[in-house]
Every structure is written in C-alpha cells, then in structure tokens.
Amino acid sequence: MWSHLWQRIAAFIEDDCGDNFEPMAIDLFQRHFELNESYRRYVKALGIAPNAIQRWQDIPAAPAGAFKEFDLSCCDVAACSHVFHSSGTTQANASKHWMDSDALSLYELSLRCGYDLALRHQAGGLPIWAMMPRPEDAPHSSLSHMLETLAAQRWFWGDWHRLADAIDAVDSPVVIFGTGFAFVSLFEAFPTRCWKLPAGSVLVNTGGFKGRTREEPRDRFYGSMRDRFGVPDKACLSEYGMSEMASQFYSGGELGQFRAPRWLRTRVIDPLTGDDAAQGSAGLLRHYDLANWNSVCAIQTQDLGISCGEGFRLLGRAPEAQVRGCSLAVEELWNRG
C-alpha cells in the first residue's frame, strides 16, 4: 500500500520531478501514524486527528529524545536490518534509529543525492577520505555508514601518522570528511605541522565534539582547518546531520548557512511558545525529512539556530540545563546509563 509513496519520494529525491513536498510529507505522516505505534500514541495524546493535518508544518514533531526511550519504527524492530545510534552517550541511552530495507534504501539514496547536490560543482567525482571508524568497527554509526555509501576510498581513525603521511603524498584533489574530534586530534598529534592539499580539495567537518574532552571555538577550528591544510576558506565545509535523520545539510565555512535539499525542510521554533521563532531570532531546529521512511518525518531537535534565507545558521547544541545550583548535571547522570 505504501510502495507508491516510497517510489514518489525516491523519485523526488533523485530528480526534481515536479512533485510537491507537502502532499508527500502529509502522506508520510499518515504512514507513520498508522504503522508506528509509539508515534501514533503521541499524536493521539496531543489530541490531533490524523486527517486534520493539512500543511507540512502541522505534522507533530517527535522530540529527538524519544529515539532514546522508544522504538520509533513502523515495523517490528526485529525485521530491521540496521539500527543507527547517536554518539557521545552510553549504549543504554543512545538514540536508536531503526531501518528496514526500504528505509535503508531511501536513506542511502538521500545521502548520495544530498552530497551530489551540495558538492557536485565543487568536488564532484573526487575521491573521498574518511577520518572516522570503518563501518565494520562502528556498525551503529550513521556517519560511518554514510561514508561507506559515498564510497570513501581511504579510512583513518586513530593512526594520525598514517593520515599525515597520506596527506603529504597525495598529488590530486580529495574530499576529506572528518568529525571535529578527529580534526582536532590530528592537529594535536602534529602541533606545528602544516600540509598543502592539492588545489580543489575539500574538507568537510561533520561536527561531533559531543562526549569528548575537548571543545574548540568554531572560529579557531575553521582557521586551523584552513591554515593547516593549506586550503581556501571556501574549501572548508560543514555537514550537519543526526542519527535520527536520514538526510543531511551542508554549509560552507565557519559562519556558513546550512542549506537543505528539496526533500528536507526546517522550522525554527521558540520553545517558550512552541511556535515559530520571530524572523532573525534564535530557536530550536525542527526538521521535516521525507527520507525518514521507518521512523517519523518531523523531529524536534535541541539544536539552536537562526532562520536565514533558504536555510539556517547553526548556533550549536543547546547545552544541558545550565548548572546553577548544586544539582548533579543531568548529562552526567544520563551517562551513567
């Protein structure tokens, strides 16, 4: 019954076939309401009748935290071939994004097309290197899976000398994806060393300091990327995604604006009112992702951003409730599992 919707979404992702985001988003919501028991319970608790959804903005957004506590899946999770976990937290309280074969196909299509849309002019066809664990070493990492799907040719994780030598030796442009933590670790392993990547090379920071011991101010981080690798500012990109989503955003540089592919939309929400934040004001990002086939389409994140143009400026993850008393930091306890 739902295969036609799957095909419409896949066609929309693959090629701007003239279909509209909104009717597909509403149909996808209907699927999730019908098949995803936890989500259905949530929508009912909100007092929303499924046929009352007339606009994509009206689709109830599941808080990202729900992926930690509930199996948000349209099928029995035993039938899912893959589950992707959030990073930086213990296994017990990690978010879990379940995918069956249909969901996985749409996810892989989305990430390939998203990459093409964002980088084809700048880096189309270039070989990709990944500064992260291989999928076999991190089977629940959506990031590793993404790079495998993008056919990364070389993988580096922990052995920074090998990476440093490889960068020294490379003589044609490459795209290097890495977590923020990986880039910082490389810089710390070689505090004074600089490289000169071949012209046309691109660096993609996937974020990911969370749960690590070091945080780098953004401006310093991007300055280091530029200076250490000998690339221009425009070659330093960012990718923003989350294990709970099948699609990604890309942006250029430190102050870049993240732009979504056509099958992904974002609202900036004022958490005080639950409505859209005023134009130009910061709020929490709420994403609507047509490629989220098996879970939920709309996700309320704890990421802060400002709406601008056709995208948003990411301000970062909302920190845990600021410690202002002597209460145990909530994150510390979450991490106790």
Partner 1 sequence: MEPGVIERAASSLRDVRRDFIAAYRPTGAHDRIIHAIEDAAALWSDPDFAVRRKAQKNSGTFPMAMVQVSLDGLLPSLTTDRLRALIRTEAPDLSRSPSLVGHVIAGNTPLIGWTSVLRALLIGSASLVKAPSSGQGCWLEYLVQTLKIVAPEVAAMISVLFWRGGDERLDRALCGAVDRLAVYGNDRTVRAHEELAKGRVLGYGHRVSTAFVLKGADIRTAAKGLATDVLVYDQGGCLSPHTIFVEGDFACALEFGALLSEAMDESVFGHSAVSSSMVRASKVREARELCRFSDVDRSWEGDALRWTTIASPRIGFRISPTYGVVHVRPFVRERVFESLDIVKGKLQGAAIASRSEEDTFQFGVQLSQFGVFYTCAPGELQAPPFEWRQNGISVLRSLID
Looking at the Cβ atoms of 115 and 288, the one nearer to partner 1 is: 288
> Does residue number 242 form part of the binding site for partner 1 (CB under 8 A)?
no
> Does residue number 284 form part of the binding site for partner 1 (CB under 8 A)?
yes
Shortest Å, Cβ 210 to partner 1: 16
Dist. CA 262–CA 259, nearest whole Å: 9
Among residues 272, 279, 280, 309, the one that binds partner 1 under rule CB under 8 A: 272
> Does residue number 200 form part of the binding site for partner 1 (CB under 8 A)?
no
Shortest Å, Cβ 325 to partner 1: 3
Looking at the Cβ atoms of 161 and 336, the one nearer to partner 1 is: 336
Shortest Å, Cβ 208 to partner 1: 20
| Amino acid sitting at position 243 | S
Dist. CA 194–CA 68, nearest whole Å: 41
> Does residue number 321 form part of the binding site for partner 1 (CB under 8 A)?
yes
Question: Which residues, 6 or more positions from 289, have their beta carbon under 8 angstroms from its beta carbon?
Answer: 110, 245, 246, 247, 263, 264, 297, 298, 299
From the list 251, 175, 174, 163, the residue with the least C-alpha distance to 207 is 251
Angular region, 27: left φ>0, alpha ψ -120 to 50, beta rest: alpha
Shortest Å, Cβ 259 to partner 1: 24
Shortest Å, Cβ 92 to partner 1: 10
Total chain residues near partner 1 (CB under 8 A):
39
From the list 95, 54, 62, the residue with the least C-alpha distance to 243 is 95
Contact stretch for partner 1 (CB under 8 A) within 36-44, 148-156, 161-169, 238-246: 36-44
Shortest Å, Cβ 280 to partner 1: 14
Shortest Å, Cβ 322 to partner 1: 7
> Does residue number 335 form part of the binding site for partner 1 (CB under 8 A)?
no
Looking at the Cβ atoms of 11 and 321, the one nearer to partner 1 is: 321
Question: Which residues, 6 or more positions from 142, have their beta carbon under 8 angstroms from its beta carbon?
Answer: 84, 97, 241, 243
Looking at the Cβ atoms of 14 and 276, the one nearer to partner 1 is: 276
According to CB under 8 A, which residues from 38 to 77 bind partner 1?
38-39, 41-42, 45-46, 62-63, 65-66, 69-70
Dist. CA 320–CA 336, nearest whole Å: 15
Looking at the Cβ atoms of 165 and 332, the one nearer to partner 1 is: 332
Among residues 274, 279, 280, 309, the one that binds partner 1 under rule CB under 8 A: 274
According to CB under 8 A, which residues from 123 to 152 bind partner 1?
none
How far, in whole angstroms, is CA 277 from its chain's centroid?
Answer: 22
Q: Which strand (E) or helix (H) includes residue 24?
A: helix 21-35
HEC readout, 128-168: EEEECCCCCCCCCEHHHHHHHHCCCCEECCCCHHHHHHHHH
Dist. CA 181–CA 216, nearest whole Å: 9
Looking at the Cβ atoms of 211 and 271, the one nearer to partner 1 is: 271
Phi and psi at 283, nearest 5°, equal: -165, -175
| Amino acid sitting at position 209 | F
> Does residue number 212 form part of the binding site for partner 1 (CB under 8 A)?
no
Residues engaged in binding partner 1 (CB under 8 A): 38-39, 41-42, 45-46, 62-63, 65-66, 69-70, 270-272, 274, 282-284, 300, 302, 304, 318-330, 332-334, 336
